[in-house]
Structure 1
Amino acid sequence: MIRQRTLKSIVKATGVGLHGGRKVTLVLRPAAPDTGIVFHRVDLDPPLSLPADPYAVCDTRMCSGLEKDGEKVGTVEHLMSALAGLGIDNLHVDVDAPEIPILDGSSAPFVFLLQSAGIEEQSAAKKFLRVKKMVEYVEGDKWVRLEPYDGFRLSFSIVFNHPAIDSTSTRVTIDFAEHSYIRDVARARTFGFMQDVEFMRANGLALGGSLENAIVMDEYRVLNAEGLRYADEFVKHKVLDAIGDLYLCGHPLLAAYSAHKAGHALNNQVLRVLLEDETAWEIVSFEQPKLTPPAVTHQFGDALLAQA
């Protein structure tokens, strides 16, 4: 049986919020089966709980945020991506600020935290959201699509018309029947342009951004002295974001995702299109090994072995 997962122990980290620029303390705690991923704003009195929910997504300008009763938790996508990549279904996330810390701009530090705490299989079967028919969301020349697939595959293409990006691969396909989240996706960092910094900061964004937590470019080149971590790091970070955005539906997807020039907003919109058509999806579990798709066994077996 493919089982639900949580952490074995509590783990804590501190970092800077990308947009607010303030110190943030993050505590990850185990949760019971069928709890899902629940964020808690522990700096509020009383603390406010915000479950992962695509209908609670509020601010998709530069990140994915959740909102409830006028309060927010922003920049959840990198942590959500790591949770999806390691197959963690149930977790309490305590945070003492309106956003999750950016750490190094990828999901790799979150993967390290989760592996440090240890991953524990639970008694309940993992519940997958299986896409039964194609759905899509189109906005001008941008589009995103979900199609039936016995596993989880993501294909992404980007267009930025920037020499530093155009010199890398701008298309990628990650199929977790073959690829490893930790090896092939987790280290891809967020990226931005120097010329956009003043505008973003004037609008209260990227106040904590630096070369320590993002790939930064001027008009021609990457400014980070160490260069890129992957030859296709830009488009891989878009895949990393998409994995986190899609996991806000509350279950791992069995689907083929494809997108062109999409971002947080379109990822959220395609989830809503999917969920609002009850003929387009179903919840499934795999309690007998012979009925489990090989891609599912590969993906979630890998994630658990990787932390052993």
Structure 2
Amino acid sequence: MLEYQTTLKSRCSLSGIGVHSGKPVSIHFSPAEPDTGVVFQRIDEAGTGRVIRALVSEVAQTDLCTALGDVSGEHVATVEHLMAALIAMGIDNVAIEIDGAEVPVLDGSAIGFVEAFEQAGTVALPVKRRYIRVIKPIRIDNGSSWAEFRPHDRTRFEIEIDFDSPAIGRQSLAFDLNGETFRNEIARARTFGFIKDVERLWAAGFALGSSLENSLVIGEDHRVINTGGLRYPDEFVRHKMLDAVGDLALAGARFIGCFRSFRGGHRLNAAALRHLLTDRSAYEIVETTRREQGRRAEMVAVNAPVYAPWTI
């Protein structure tokens, strides 16, 4: 576990379209001071200058994507791929300016964000990083779907999905999360959908920017219609893991524990995270310490908030 908080070494920017809005958008990432956390600010004409914190308490919508803020007013949608890249690449503090209401989808995965952050670089800050350590199991059920946190000595994800479509079926994946694993095994997995759902989504105002350039699409014959096929044999569950990593990054700090889910999604991820954070007996705030020169770092409980405190 890293001992100190980090931020970007230099400013970087990306542009693209929103997968649901279909509108062009640019996003700019700047270094931030310790204990800032991840904060968004709209800089387009609709923006008021309000800072929207990347916290589960700000989650306003979980239909098809995760949106922060006020969905009837100032908000930022589809934050999950970006948040996954930030947390996996070890970036704690960043100020984000965005000139639209939706984070650009890029190629439907998180690899574009990862590469931008690698190019910008990171720098350590002189303030200890604090973690949320799970100390007792908690679980939430929703019909045949469920999610749970369990104690574990690292940050682990165990994700299982089950779709009626033979193109997907039942898939499972488990990883201890770190930057290298995320980049190589998860970051390139793309969002996916079914061509039979397209007209319904368009009518509801979703997927207006979706295309074969940024989404895996399953046709009426239950086959992936994208040229080139899948990037991973189990790309679908890998993308669901990417989404879970991003949704749980809204805790306000990294968690130490194991997150498991079956047939999960944005709504279940957010509900499980809220359930954890509202049960103060289920977690403790810890930070690293080295008591002797050369001794392996240990985690100790501290009586302090994380660097971006939440409100549930």
Q: Does 1:210 align with 2:211?
A: yes
Show the counterpart of 1:241: 243
Residue in structure 2 matching 1:97, options 97, 100, 120 = 100
Match of 2:275 in 1: 273
Structure 1 partner of 2:136 = 133
As a proportion of its length, which structure holds more helix?
A: 1
Please tell me whether the aligned partners of residues 18 and 208 of structure 1 are also in contact (alpha carbons under 8 angstroms).
Answer: yes
Question: Aligned partners of 1:45 and 1:161: how far apart in 2?
Answer: 42
Structure 2: tracts of 5 or more residues without a match:
300-312
Structure 2 counterparts to residues 133-172 of structure 1, below 5 A: 133-166=136-169, 170-172=171-173
Contact kept? 1:42, 1:48, Cα under 8 Å: no
Task: Give, in whole Å, the separation in 1 of the partners of 2:42 and 2:64.
Answer: 20
Assess, with a 3 A threshold, how the Cα gap between structure 1 residues 178 and 201 changes in structure 2: closer, same or farther. Answer: closer
* 1:49-128 aligned within 5 A: 49-68=51-70, 70-128=73-131
**CA separation in 1, counterparts of 2:197 and 2:230?**
20
Deviation at 1:178, TM superposition (A): 11
What displacement does 1:70 show? 3.1
* Alignment deviations for residues 192-229 of structure 1 (CA, whole Å, 9 cap, x no partner): 01111100010000000000001011121001111111
Could you tell me which runs of 5 or more consecutive residues in structure 1 were left unpaired when the two chains were aligned. Answer: 294-308
Contact preservation (8 Å) 1:151, 1:177:
no
The offset of 1:180, in angstroms, is: 1.1
Q: CA deviation at 1:45?
A: 4.7
Aligned to 2:227: 225
| 1:176 CA displacement | 3.0
Query: Counterparts of 2:180 and 2:86 in 1: how far apart (Å)?
Result: 16
Q: Secondary structure at the match of 1:82?
A: helix
Within 2, Cα distance between the matches of 1:45 and 1:183?
36
Distance in 1, matches of 2:54 and 2:179, equals: 28
Paired position in structure 2 for 1:9: 10
1:275/1:232 CA distance change after superposition, 3 Å: same
Which residue identity does 1:240 align to in structure 2? L
Percent identity at matched positions?
42
- Over the residues paired in the alignment, what is the CA RMSD in angstroms? 1.6
* Secondary structure at the counterpart of residue 235 of structure 1: helix
> Hey, what's the Cα distance between the residues in 2 that align with 1:212 and 1:187?
13
Write the distance in 2 (CA, Å) between the matches of 1:32 and 1:190.
33
* Partner residue, 1:254: 256
Q: Which residue of 1 aligns with 2:297?
A: 291
| SS state at 2:296 partner | helix
Shift of 1:117: 0.8
Once residues 124 and 232 of structure 1 are traced to their aligned partners in structure 2, the CA distance between those partners, rounded to angstroms, is: 39
2:4 maps to a residue whose letter is R
1:190 corresponds in structure 2 to 191
Flag the 1:62–1:229 CA change in 2: closer, same or farther, 3 A: same
How far residue 292 of structure 1 moved from its aligned partner, in angstroms, is 3.4
Q: Distance in 1 between matches of 2:60 and 2:48?
A: 22
1:98-154 Cα offsets, whole Å, 9 max, x none, are: 110000000000001111111111111111111111111110000000011110111
| C-alpha separation in 1, matches of 2:139 and 2:108 | 28
Distance across 1 between alignment mates of 2:180 and 2:272: 24
TM-fit CA distance, 1:290? 1.7
Work out whether residues 134 and 145 of structure 1, in 8 Å CA contact, stay in contact via their aligned partners in 2: yes
Q: Give me the TM-score of the superposition, normalised by structure 1.
A: 0.91
- How many Å separate the matches in 1 of 2:119 and 2:62? 30
- Contact 2:195/2:218 (8 A) holds in 1: yes
8 Å Cα contact 2:26/2:98 also seen in 1 = yes
Letter in 1 for 2:130: K
Q: Which amino acid aligns with 2:265?
A: G
Contact 1:38 1:50 (C-alpha < 8 Å) held by counterparts: yes
Taking the aligned partners of 1:46 and 1:179, their CA distance within structure 2 comes to 38
TM score, norm. by length of structure 2: 0.90
The answer (yes or no) to whether the contact 1:159–1:261 under 8 Å persists in 2 is yes
- In the alignment, residue 154 of structure 2 is paired with which amino acid? G
Distance 1:222 1:117 in 2: 35
Cα distance in 2 between the residues matched to 1:179 and 1:8? 19
Which amino acid is the alignment partner of residue 152 of structure 2? Y
- Larger displacement relative to structure 2 (178-187 or 233-242): 178-187
